[in-house]
Amino acid sequence: MKAKHRRLTFVGVGLLLLAGAAGLVLVALEDTVVFFFAPSDLQAQERAPEGRVRIGGLIEQGSLERGGTPIRFRITDLRATVQVSYRGLLPDLIREGQGVVASGLLVNGMLEADEVLAKHDETYMPKEVADALRKAGTWKGAP
């Protein structure tokens, strides 16, 4: 087998592999990408999004029912709110009035979350939450 043929074989196999992988990637992106919404984005939607969503904002003051299963709280961007219920342990850093991102399925306008992420430390706000608050015009931090 000549060097040229050999190289062509490998390039061909490589291209086939890449094409296969590209196909997998496209299908998977279609099916598995999870969109992020702020509560007022959700309100603006005519139909509730299907499949998994992530919702971020602040935990509304006085809405957090700690402990018990499920745990309930509301996420707000200070314009609209979304009720969340969550079975599991809340992150240690979660507090009312602070940033949170919850993901799960929307059922009748309520988010049944299976994952709740809080900010990592005192100075940190999830980027999506900061952007969502900016969009809602209720951001108070640095521009």
List contacts with other proteins (CB under 8 A): 1-3, 6, 9-10, 13-14, 17-18, 20-21, 24-25, 27-29, 31-36, 54, 66-69, 87-90, 92-93, 103, 120-122, 124, 126-128, 131
We find the least distance from the C-beta atom of residue 43 to other proteins, in angstroms, to be: 17
We find the least distance from the C-beta atom of residue 93 to other proteins, in angstroms, to be: 6
Please give the Cα distance from 65 to 108 (Å, whole number). 20
Task: Return the C-alpha torsion angle 126, 129, 130, 133, nearest 10.
Answer: -170
We find the least distance from the C-beta atom of residue 60 to other proteins, in angstroms, to be: 18
Burial of 2 (0-12, 13-18, 19+ CB in 10 A): exposed
We find the least distance from the C-beta atom of residue 122 to other proteins, in angstroms, to be: 6
Tokens representing 91 are 């992150």
In the bound state with other proteins, the residue whose beta carbon lies nearer, of 65 and 109, is 65
In the bound state with other proteins, the residue whose beta carbon lies nearer, of 81 and 104, is 104
Burial of 19 (0-12, 13-18, 19+ CB in 10 A): exposed
